[in-house]
């Protein structure tokens, strides 16, 4: 298979994750584990294929990020609706995602989309994503451990939010030093 075909694989995997996010709330509970494992596998594979075959693009990264957020939010809302845990946990679980969304809005507002396009994935964000997937698995396989999984996932999300927030503040300071403070 040539590199020409490979370049479509990461985006196809991300698109597949969006489709899984759309069907998850309407799927019987007996299929939830399979859908979550499929979403997790697609998340790992899309990045691996893109890096391995050097077919990364900022558009692909954006699609991957959108797919990740839709997948996570779909599962969280479904789990809350099914009584797996309280909706009060959602803001803590999405702290990193909320901060990144704020950063996107701010970058658009100050007309600095290029700066956001250069934002690399961070280890703290990857750990937060792993925490979310372990939470999802715990909710299905080990419901008696859900509080521990919730606390870990919320902690990882908070650490990632602080990490991304720190980068955001550093970028603001650099913009100010360069004299680029006006929107």
Question: How far is residue 8's CA from residue 6's CA, in Å, rounded to a whole number?
Answer: 5
Q: Do 121 and 145 reside in the same domain of the chain? A: yes
Residue pLDDT, tens place only, 106-165: 777 877 766 666 667 789 988 999 999 999 999 999 999 999 999 999 999 999 989 988
Q: Do 90 and 49 reside in the same domain of the chain? A: no
3-class DSSP state of 86 = coil
Judge contact between 42 and 14, C-beta under 8 A.
yes
In sequence order, what are the residues at sequence separation of 6 or more whose Cβ sits closer than 8 angstroms to the Cβ of residue 175? 110, 112, 181
Q: Do 30 and 69 reside in the same domain of the chain? A: yes
CA nearest neighbour of 164 among 128, 113, 135: 128
Predicted model pTM: 0.85
Question: Which residues form the domain of 89?
Answer: 85-183
Q: Do 67 and 129 reside in the same domain of the chain? A: no
Q: Do 89 and 70 reside in the same domain of the chain? A: no
Q: For 29-145, where are the alpha helices, taking DSSP H only?
A: 32-52, 58-81, 90-93, 95-109, 113-117, 123-141
Q: Do 15 and 98 reside in the same domain of the chain? A: no
Q: Do 89 and 79 reside in the same domain of the chain? A: no
Q: Do 114 and 92 reside in the same domain of the chain? A: yes
Q: Annotate 103-136 with b (16+ C-beta within 10 A) or e (fewer).
A: beebbeeeeeeebbeebeeeebbebbbbbbbbbb
3-class DSSP state of 118 = coil
Q: Do 137 and 120 reside in the same domain of the chain? A: yes
Residue pLDDT, tens place only, 5-55: 788 999 999 999 999 999 999 999 999 999 999 999 999 999 899 888 988
Q: Do 35 and 48 reside in the same domain of the chain? A: yes
Q: Do 148 and 76 reside in the same domain of the chain? A: no
Q: Do 55 and 105 reside in the same domain of the chain? A: no
């Amino acid at each position: 298979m040539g590199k020409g075909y490979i370049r479509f694989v990461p985006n196809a995997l991300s698109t597949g994750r969006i489709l899984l996010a759309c069907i998850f709330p309407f799927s019987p509970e007996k299929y939830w584990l399979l859908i979550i494992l499929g979403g997790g596998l697609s998340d790992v594979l899309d990045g691996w294929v893109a890096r391995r075959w050097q077919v990364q693009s900022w558009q692909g990264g954006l699609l991957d990020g959108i797919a990740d957020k839709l997948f996570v939010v779909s599962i969280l809302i479904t789990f809350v609706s099914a009584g797996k845990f309280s909706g009060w946990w959602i803001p803590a679980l999405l702290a990193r995602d909320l901060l990144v969304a704020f950063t996107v809005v701010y970058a658009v507002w100050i007309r600095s989309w290029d700066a956001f396009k250069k934002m690399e994935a961070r280890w703290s964000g990857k750990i937060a994503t792993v925490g979310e997937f372990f939470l999802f698995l715990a909710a299905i396989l080990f419901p008696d451990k859900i509080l521990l999984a919730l606390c870990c996932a919320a902690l990882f999300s908070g650490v990632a939010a602080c990490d991304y927030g720190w980068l955001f503040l550093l970028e603001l300071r650099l913009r100010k030093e360069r004299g680029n403070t006006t929107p």
